[in-house]
Structure formats: C-alpha cells, structure tokens
Amino acid sequence: MRRGLGLVIAIALAAVHLPAGARPAAAADSLNLFGWSEYIPQVVIDEFTEESGIEVNYEMYASNEEMLAKLFSGATKYDLIQPSEYVVEALVKEGKLEKLDKAKLPNMKNIAPDYFGLPHDPQLDYSVPYMSGTVGVVINTAKITDPVTGYADVFQEKYKGRIVVLDDALEIVTWALHVLGLPPNDVNKESLEKVKPILQKWLPLVKVYDSDSPKTALLNGDVDLGVVWSGEAALLYNEDKKFKYVLPKEGAHRFIDNLSIPKGAPNSDAALKFIDYILKPEVSVKISAEFPYTNPNAAARKLLTPAERDNPASYPPGNPKLDTFRDIGANAVLVDKLITDLKAQSGT
C-alpha cells in the first residue's frame, strides 16, 4: 500500500549537486510536499490549507529509492519529504537535511518517548516521526489451520502459490537473516552468501510480490498468507477477523516513516508549519483512522477508539523482538542483485 524500501541511492548522495536553475522561488503561501503514495489523507491537507492559507502541492512516490532519485535530480525543489528511518540516517550523514527549528514545533512534545534515542536520529534533530509500524505475517485462518509463528512456517512447499510478500529486496533478505539468527543489519557479502540457499527455496513459492497493496491478494482470495506491512494487516483485520497478524518469532522490522526538510528547501517555514499541524493530536488521529499503522503521537493515541487501540496489527501485544533498519551503504547493491537474480531463476 505505501512503500518499497529504497536501497541504492544514498551511497551516491555526496556526489550529487542540484543545478542552479532548478530551484523555484520561495513562496510563503505554498508547500511542495513529496510523500508516500496513499499515506496522507486529503482532508488533512485541505484543512491545513484552510487554517494556514498555505497551498500544498502533494506529489507521491512508491519507494525511498524513487524519492531520492527525484529529490536529487534537481528537477523539482521539495520542501518536505517522508524518508524512512535508515534513509534519514544516510541523508544526515551526507548533510542533506535541514536541522529542525524546534522552537517552531511546539507540538513535538506529543511524540512518544520511545521514538527518541534511536540510531538514525537520536534527538530528532532532523526528522519527526509521522507513522510507524512493523512487518509481519498475515494468515487467513479460514484456509490455513496449521500454526504459523514465523518466516519458516510461511515458506513451506505446501503453501506454494498461496503466498504474497512485499516486493522489497532488503525486507526479504532480512527475513532469511532472522531465520539464521543473524542481526537484520548484518548485511554484507558473507552474510548474503549464507542466506542465498534459503532464498533459493523460498522465492519459487511466492505467487505475488506487492509492496503497494498486499492486502488485495488476500482479500480477493488469490493467496492465503503472506508477509506484509502492519497497516495492511490492520485493514484486513478490520475487514474480517479471520485475518490474523503474527510478528515472526525470529524477529521483525520496526519501520519509522518521518517528516524531514531537505537542505535548501525554499519554503522551510511552511514545512515547519505543516509538521507542527500534523503533530496536533486531533489531526494525527485522523491519519490513524485512514491509515491504521502505529501512531508515534502519544497524545493522539489517547483519542483513538477502543477498537483502533485493540487492533493487534496496529498495536501488537506483548514485547516482540523488533529492529529498525540502518544505512547499509554500498552493500545495498549486493542485496538488489541477489534478489533480482533469484527472482529470475525462479521465474517470478
């Protein structure tokens, strides 16, 4: 529904320079927002414009990779982007994000404490959490009756042609790393050789690769289980309680999508106003209603309905083993090549 993790472009950012003629003039009454597809409710944008007088030009992308390519091509100068956690880390390293003027973000006080101190941006100096979530397993319990507790349970021969997974090379590689007991950020030539035999068995079993709307194949009955974004799983659960969401026992990815201001953004004040508007609890809760991921806004969570808070995909119970992704630099190229080659071999 919302994303496919980008892998390659961050390693080249230091060498990229925007052409001088590509920057539109700053305008206090406009905002060029570049965000994930189907991730910001139109009503939120419209009400921000009504309140602030700032027109929002909302352009969408389907992956971090696409966002970075357009951002640094210089064709358009964006004021606000939605990078995932490891992309924030890469952009900060390369000096490509503006440091946030927190005096203009009074509503940052609403961010839950556990979103501070993370490796990609410990003090949230360059990014504000917009929405978070996990990657886990969805099971149609009307069709699958055997226990499914992790990745190894999904990728079995008996489920061949019944599986949907995210079309995301890094995600897929980390699932195999988890099965081997290796850290998900331990991505290098040696570890990729270790996961290759596992992935050679797994990928021929997959029927559908879909990062935009993996829930669709499950709702249509085309597949019976899969590894998907938690927000997609939450929507499935709301549709029919037969769809069960499980965080794999081997470990799972906790992603964090953020709001950040690119270096040199012409309308940075407008971007700050939009960020602070999003952080209002009464606004943030509207986003959760349409896109039921994990809301980082602690004040907004108090406004959720009991059904929203009790959705096990949006707010998984217990104390699951979760990791955020780190910037893996040049090893990203190896990840892409491995999955591309294996897909070709398996005919998918």
What are the tens digits of pLDDT across the range 30-82?
Answer: 999 999 987 999 999 999 999 999 999 999 987 888 899 899 887 779 999 99
pLDDT of residue 106: 98
Pairing of the two strands 128-140 and 252-259: antiparallel
Cα 98 to Cα 121: distance, rounded to the nearest angstrom: 13
pLDDT of residue 20: 35
Tell me if 338 sits within 8 A of 100, measured CB to CB. no
Tell me if 336 sits within 8 A of 193, measured CB to CB. no
Tell me if 116 sits within 8 A of 256, measured CB to CB. no
| CATH number corresponding to 133-253+321-346 | 3.40.190.10
Cα 90 to Cα 206: distance, rounded to the nearest angstrom: 31
Q: Which two tokens stand for residue 90?
A: 């890469």
pLDDT of residue 12: 39
- Mean model confidence pLDDT for the chain: 91
Average pLDDT of the segment spanning 170-189:
96
Tell me if 333 sits within 8 A of 8, measured CB to CB. yes
The CATH homologous superfamily of the domain defined by 9-132+255-309: Periplasmic binding protein-like II (3.40.190.10)
Cα 239 to Cα 222: distance, rounded to the nearest angstrom: 16
pLDDT of residue 321: 84
- Asked if pLDDT for residue 24 goes beyond 70, the answer is no
Q: What are the backbone angles phi and psi of residue 165, rounded to the nearest 5°?
A: -135, 165
**pTM listed for this prediction:** 0.86
Beta bridge partners of 324: none
Q: Which two tokens stand for residue 5?
A: 């993790």
Enumerate the CATH 3.40.190.10 domain ranges in the chain, comma separated. Answer: 9-132+255-309, 133-253+321-346
Eight-class DSSP state of 287: H
**Cβ atoms < 10 Å from Cβ of 135:** 24
Beta bridge partners of 294: 132
Cα 51 to Cα 267: distance, rounded to the nearest angstrom: 17
Average pLDDT of the segment spanning 97-105:
98
pLDDT of residue 310: 96
- Asked if pLDDT for residue 10 goes beyond 60, the answer is no
Confidence of residue 28 (pLDDT cuts 50, 70, 90): low
Confidence of residue 6 (pLDDT cuts 50, 70, 90): very low
Tell me if 246 sits within 8 A of 152, measured CB to CB. no
Q: What are the backbone angles phi and psi of residue 27, rounded to the nearest 5°?
A: -140, 125
Q: Which two tokens stand for residue 84?
A: 């995932």
Cα 71 to Cα 230: distance, rounded to the nearest angstrom: 27
Q: Which two tokens stand for residue 116?
A: 């501070």
Of 329, 281, 229, the closest CA to residue 44 belongs to 281
- Asked if pLDDT for residue 227 goes beyond 50, the answer is yes
Cα 116 to Cα 212: distance, rounded to the nearest angstrom: 28
